[in-house]
Amino acid sequence: MELFTKTLFLCLTNGALAHHDAAVDDASLPDRCDGLGFDAITPDEQGTTFFFRGSHLWEGFHGPAQLSNESFQELNDIHNIGHVDAAFRMHNIEHLDDHDHIYFFLDDKVFSYYAHNLEEGYPKEIQQDFPGVPSHLDAAVECPKGECMADSVLFFKGQDVHVYDIVTKTVKTKTWSHLPVCTSALRWLEHYYCFHGNNFTKFHPVSGEVSGVYPKDARSYFMKCPNFGHGGDYKVLKCSDVKIEAITTDDAGKSYFFIGPFYMRLDTRRDGLHAFLITRSWKEVTNGVDAVFSYADNIYLIKDDQVYIYKAAAHYTLIEGYPKTLKEELGIEGHVDAAFVCPDDHTVHIIIGGTIRAVDLSATPRVVIRERPLPFSGIDAALCSAEGINVFKGATYYHYESPMTLAMSRIAPEPLHVTRAMMGCEE
């Protein structure tokens, strides 16, 4: 199991753990492993993360350096700026003309790009687009509503953070003296990172609070360098070897699957598919999960005979009084293999061995209202969406139109295979 889970972790984080970036044909190119850090970091509209230093950039979490004007032509060919001070990808779903555009900052100028093309009318004075934001910035990072109080951009200059509200076009300035001076910043998978030299520090975008042991060396997490790393050198897991243990989509549209001590967000594939320890988000669940489902802005994690309920909207805070036993919470006993709730429904369907049981979540106390046999046993996980139900068994899954067709079926449909697009595995 240890080898398997380490292999899975490397499968899902292979972007950050690829071949050493210094092994390039042109030795004159800069090496991201030299510890000099970056001038700016930003993803583009496709989710590819670019790391900038001087007149060069690195595309993604591995690979050699290239001239910035190969990806963003006008930066050097027309304006000959040579480098950027800061950069971020705009999050503004209310105004799609700006959403997902990349903004570069140099001295007192701002450049707006989309699909790697400079937008008409740029560059502009920073004050034209971002009134109240100073020039000669150190770093910038977007902060969507829900993670910040409103759709915002955090602009860093020294130890001052200028929080720019995209809607009101106002600025509030804070001083975070406890945070290192950020030379670049990145929002990645809903977490915020201040890069300083070869190190990074994770911080809360509203308070600036730093939780955990920081700084950490970026060469161990955001790239692959000799004598650095937080994983081993294992092969990418084949899709035929994937075995999902639990899967769910919460009310906010965040999709997760669980295997061993790890989980992975499936809805963030634009920014890469990456595995993390379950305890990173659900710290009380220390030994994997058997099943998981989402209901009423809460996520239920089941392990053995214990049910853990977390508030999804509060960064997965464990509800007071939990865990509780399966009998107390759901009125059932036995080893749960899978569980799912369909959209806009109040029934959780729980699979135990070769049976499926329906529990009314709106009732108090909760009791089984229906139990039926299934056409097969050995189910590992199940997920219900508007398109129907996928029941996972090993590296295959079965699709059903509804819980009724699953419960009433006596012959399993043709099995389908887990793919790279679904799970980031190797086909």
The tokens describing 36, both together, are 């000099």
Question: 274 labelled as ligand-binding?
Answer: yes
Q: What are phi and psi of 170, to 5 degrees?
A: -115, 160
- Work out the number of other CB atoms within 10 angstroms of the CB of residue 402: 12
Asked if 342 and 330 touch (Cβ cutoff 8 Å), the reply is no
Determine how β-strand 102-106 pairs with β-strand 86-89.
Answer: antiparallel
Q: Give me the residues paired with residue 195 across strands.
A: 184, 200
How many residues are recorded in the chain?
427
Asked if 156 and 139 touch (Cβ cutoff 8 Å), the reply is yes
Q: What are phi and psi of 405, to 5 degrees?
A: -65, -35
The tokens describing 84, both together, are 């950027």
Asked if 186 and 42 touch (Cβ cutoff 8 Å), the reply is yes
Residues in Cβ contact with 140 at an 8 Å cutoff, skipping those fewer than 6 apart: 40, 86, 87, 88, 103, 105, 153, 154, 155, 156, 185
Determine how β-strand 347-352 pairs with β-strand 355-360.
Answer: antiparallel
Distance of alpha carbon 188 from alpha carbon 86, whole angstroms: 16
Ramachandran region of residue 74, left (φ > 0), alpha (ψ -120 to 50) or beta? alpha
SS3 231: coil
Distance of alpha carbon 85 from alpha carbon 135, whole angstroms: 9
Q: What are phi and psi of 33, to 5 degrees?
A: -90, 5
In one-letter notation, the amino acid at residue 219 is: R
Question: 230 labelled as ligand-binding?
Answer: yes
Secondary structure letter of residue 218 according to DSSP? G
Residues in Cβ contact with 321 at an 8 Å cutoff, skipping those fewer than 6 apart: none
DSSP 348-394: EEEEETTEEEEEETTSSS--EEEEEE-S-----EEEEETTEEEEEET
State the residue for tokens 């583009």: 44
What's the farthest any 2 CA atoms get from each other in the chain? Answer: 70
- Summarize the annotated binding site for heme as residue ranges: 230, 274
- Summarize the annotated binding site as residue ranges: 230, 274
